Amino acid sequence: MDLIIDVGNTFTKLAVFEKNKLIDKKRIETKNCISGIRELQKIHGNLINAIVSSVGALDNDTLKYVDKEFRLQILSYKTNLPFKNLYSTPKTLGIDRIALVCASVEEFPDNNVLIIDAGTCITYDFINNKNEYLGGAISPGIRMRYKAMYNQTAGLPLLKTEVPKNLIGDSTASSMHSGVVNGVLNEIDGCITQYLEEYQDLTVILTGGDAKMLSKQLKSSIFANSNFLLKGLNFILNYNLY
> Residue 41's pLDDT is what?
95
> Residue 17's pLDDT is what?
96
> Residue 33's pLDDT is what?
93
CB atoms within 10 A of CB 80: 8
> Residue 56's pLDDT is what?
67
> Residue 203's pLDDT is what?
97
Cα dihedral: 9, 14, 17, 20 (round 10): -30
Indicate the DSSP class of residue 216. Answer: T
11 annotated binding-site participant: yes
**Residue 68 CA: distances (Å) to CA of 13, 62, 79, 83, 187:** 20, 10, 20, 30, 45
96 annotated binding-site participant: yes
CB atoms within 10 A of CB 154: 4
16 annotated binding-site participant: no
CB atoms within 10 A of CB 138: 14
Does residue 2 carry a catalytic annotation?
Answer: no
To the question of pTM greater than 0.85 for the whole model, the response is yes
Distance CA 98, CA 211 (A): 19
Residues of the chain with pLDDT under 50: none
Interacting residues of 16 by C-beta distance below 8 A, sequence separation 6+: 1, 2, 3, 4, 22, 23, 24, 25, 40, 44, 47
> Is residue 6 packed enough to be buried (19+ CB in 10 Å), middle (13-18) or exposed (0-12)?
buried
Distance CA 155, CA 206 (A): 34
> Residue 55's pLDDT is what?
61
8 annotated binding-site participant: yes
163 annotated binding-site participant: no
Indicate the DSSP class of residue 83. Answer: S
124 annotated binding-site participant: no
> Is residue 171 packed enough to be buried (19+ CB in 10 Å), middle (13-18) or exposed (0-12)?
exposed
Residue pair 212/218 in contact (Cβ under 8 Å)? The answer is no
Q: Which of 2, 61, 67, 96 is catalytic?
A: 96
Span 94-132, pLDDT tens digits: 999 999 999 999 999 999 999 999 999 999 999 999 999
Distance CA 23, CA 21 (A): 6
Q: Residue 163, SS3?
A: coil
Residue pair 176/149 in contact (Cβ under 8 Å)? The answer is yes
Sorted by where each starts, the structural domains of the chain and their CATH numbers stand as 2-74 (3.30.420.40), 84-233 (3.30.420.40)
87 annotated binding-site participant: yes
